[in-house]
Structure 1
Amino acid sequence: MTLEDLGYNDRLKAYYRERQLDGYSIGRIVSEHKERYTVKTTDGEFQSELIGNLRFTAESRYDFPAVGDWVAISEYDEDKALIHAIFPRSSIIERQAAGRSAQVQIIATNIDYGLIVQAVDRDFNPNRLERYLTICHASGVEPIVVLTKIDLIEETALAELLTGLSRRINDIPVIPVSNTEGTGLAELAPYIQAGKTYCLLGSSGVGKSTLLNRLAGTDLMKTGDISDAVSKGKHTTTHRELILLERGGILIDNPGMREVGITDAAGGLEMTFDQIMELADACRFKNCTHQHEQGCAVLEALETGELEEAAYENFQKMQRERARFEASKAEQRRKDKSLGKLYKRIQEERRRNKF
């Protein structure tokens, strides 16, 4: 195995030279457990942690490593190492942290493609699919939709589902597969390229781990049946992990996500709902909210059936969610700034009292 097999490229090589990291080994984080990281190099895997300076100067979650990161390490035992540097990221897939309105959770970094997996028998939900698309678009990651378990529904039902989906999303590959029968895997195979990194996104029990096993050519991940009581996999992924595939690609598996809160600081929402954005250009007013204004092209498209009502409602809901997140983040920044000023004032008073 070479570093190139793990996705090492010219951009990373240039950073390695510029930062004069010659004395360190280069590796990629393949798993994370409570600020302990497994780093894969050409010499094997090392259980690693940050050096004190990186830990103490970190200002946010973005300053800590995540699965998919490239790092410079020094080995100090047979299978242990210290992380001295985190390479700049080409992309970050993130979501709003569950239950924390102003915080983000990094799902994975340095991703080229997001494999959005939904099962057609139970899990299929166009609204949630649009959320995953928004996360990918905001991260600069190319989305690919994989519809699993097509062996569990009739062909006519699948055709109707695909027709309906085509009215909601455009120019995104949609590949129906059956992990059990192997149907559709040949259509997915050309998208898997050596040196490219893929991230599995989807709920529990949709067949992500089974799909990973198929792509890897071996049973790497534990899988199981669906529980009838909760409609979830009995054996599901519990942590993120980076795996090399049979065809040379690199795939990051993820635990199923019950909540897909968007942060969307980079226009991902507008890219996902590009039809609405195009219609909005024809609105009478530039600041149109597309809710009640006369001369709103979006509302007119709703009335004529040109625009799906479900897509419009999902867009409005996600817009409100994005606005709440931005407002919460701004409030948190104000609080942090006030706390910083208070801390400085206390420190100054302590210094004055010494003299």
Structure 2
Amino acid sequence: MTLEDLGYTDDLEKQRQGLHPGSFGIGRVTQEHKDRYTISTESHELEGELIGNLRFSASSRNDFPAVGDWVAISEYDEGKALIHAILPRYSVLERQAVGKFGEKQIIACNIDYSIIVQSVNRDFSLNRLERYLTICHAAHISPIIVISKIDLAEKHEVKTLLEKLNHRIKAVPFIPLSNETHDGIEELKKYLYKGKTYCLLGSSGVGKSSLINSLSGESKMKIGEISDSVNRGKHITTHRELIPMVQGAILIDNPGMREVGITESYGGLENTFEKIYKLVRQCKFSDCQHTTEIGCAVKTALEKGEIDAAAFENFLKMEREKEHYESTIVEKRKKDKDFGKMIKQIKKDRKSNKY
């Protein structure tokens, strides 16, 4: 395997040249387990850990390596390496950290495409799909929607579901498929490109592990047994992992995610709800709430059925969530600034022998 097989590019090589290339090797983080990392190089895999300076200079968890990162390394023992630097990321897929409002969690880095998987049985949710699309658009990652387990539904049910999807979500390819019958697998393979990195997103039990096996050409992932009560597999993936795929593509698998919290998402909501944003700009008043105002373009479009009412409700919910997140960040930064000023004053007073 070469570095190019892992997604290495000329741009990354130019960045590496600025890091004393004679002393550092290069590798890609393929697994992350708390403070330990699996790093793939062109010759072998290494167990990596951060040098002390990199660890203690980090201002947040996001300054640590994540799956998909390219890192400058030095080997110090058989099968072990020190991570000296993280090469600049060209994309960062992230969500709001679960249970930690105002904080981000990196899902994966240096991603080109995301494959968003939802199943026809029990899991399908257009609202959740729009959330996945928003975090992808915010990271400038091209999304592909996969509707899995079509063998578990009647043909007319699948058709109705796809019609709903087509009506509400535009300009995003979607592929219905079955890992059992392999219907749709070849169609999905048309979107796999050599050297490009893909991220697999979806809830637990939607068939992501089966899909990886179908796309990799071998049984790389353990498949959970099917539960009779909910008709879906049990949660298997517990960590993020980078996996070589057919046609030279690279895939990052993720644990199942049902919660997809929105952060600042600059450009994310605008791209996901492009039609709504165009209408918002046509409203008579800049502070229009889109309820009873005269000259509201959004309200007029809703009355005419030109935009989906459920999509608009989801847009409002996510917009409020984004605004709340942004206000929390501003508040946290002010508190940090005030705390910093207090520490400086204490140090100054001590020097003046006031303490």
TM range (shorter): over 0.9
Alpha-carbon spacing, 1:352–1:234, altered in 2? closer, same or farther (3 Å): same
Whole-Å separation in 2 of the counterparts to 1:83 and 1:5:
21
**Residue identity in the other structure for 2:331:** E
Q: Secondary structure at the match of 2:342?
A: helix
**What is the aligned length?**
355
Q: Which residue of 1 aligns with 2:240?
A: 240
1:18-37 superposed Cα distances (whole Å, 9 cap, x missing partner): 23333211000001111211
RMSD: 1.6
Q: Secondary structure at the match of 2:243?
A: strand
Whole-Å separation in 2 of the counterparts to 1:353 and 1:55:
35
Q: Secondary structure at the match of 2:190?
A: helix
**Aligned-residue offset at 1:183:** 0.3
Moved more, 54-63 or 286-295: 286-295
Moved more, 323-332 or 135-144: 323-332
Question: Mapping of 1:12-51 within 5 angstroms?
Answer: 12-51=12-51
Residue 125 of structure 1 pairs with residue 145 of structure 2: no
Whole-Å separation in 2 of the counterparts to 1:246 and 1:189:
8
Whole-Å separation in 2 of the counterparts to 1:352 and 1:223:
67
CA contact (8 A) 1:200 1:252 kept: yes
Q: Secondary structure at the match of 1:55?
A: helix
Q: Which residue of 1 aligns with 2:113?
A: 113
**Aligned-residue offset at 1:239:** 0.4
**Aligned-residue offset at 1:280:** 2.1
Q: Which residue of 2 aligns with 1:89?
A: 89
1:305-352 superposed Cα distances (whole Å, 9 cap, x missing partner): 111110010000000110111111111111211222222233334444
CA contact (8 A) 1:16 1:22 kept: no
Q: Which residue of 2 aligns with 1:206?
A: 206
**Aligned-residue offset at 1:162:** 0.9
**Residue identity in the other structure for 1:3:** L
**Residue identity in the other structure for 2:301:** A
**Residue identity in the other structure for 1:333:** R
Alpha-carbon spacing, 1:249–1:294, altered in 2? closer, same or farther (3 Å): same
1:80-121 superposed Cα distances (whole Å, 9 cap, x missing partner): 100011000010000000111100000000000010000011
Question: Mapping of 1:317-336 within 5 angstroms?
Answer: 317-336=317-336
Q: Which residue of 2 aligns with 1:312?
A: 312
Structure 1 spans left out of the alignment, 5+ residues = none
Whole-Å separation in 1 of the counterparts to 2:331 and 2:288:
26
CA contact (8 A) 1:225 1:235 kept: no
Give me the TM-score of the superposition, normalised by structure 2: 0.96
Residue 4 of structure 1 pairs with residue 4 of structure 2: yes
Question: Mapping of 1:216-235 within 5 angstroms?
Answer: 216-228=216-228, 233-235=233-235
CA contact (8 A) 1:117 1:147 kept: yes
**Aligned-residue offset at 1:228:** 4.5
Q: Which residue of 1 aligns with 2:188?
A: 188
CA contact (8 A) 1:76 1:82 kept: yes
Whole-Å separation in 2 of the counterparts to 1:146 and 1:2:
30
Structure 2 spans left out of the alignment, 5+ residues = none
Moved more, 2-11 or 234-243: 234-243
Q: Secondary structure at the match of 2:292?
A: coil
Whole-Å separation in 1 of the counterparts to 2:299 and 2:331:
33
CA contact (8 A) 1:291 1:299 kept: yes
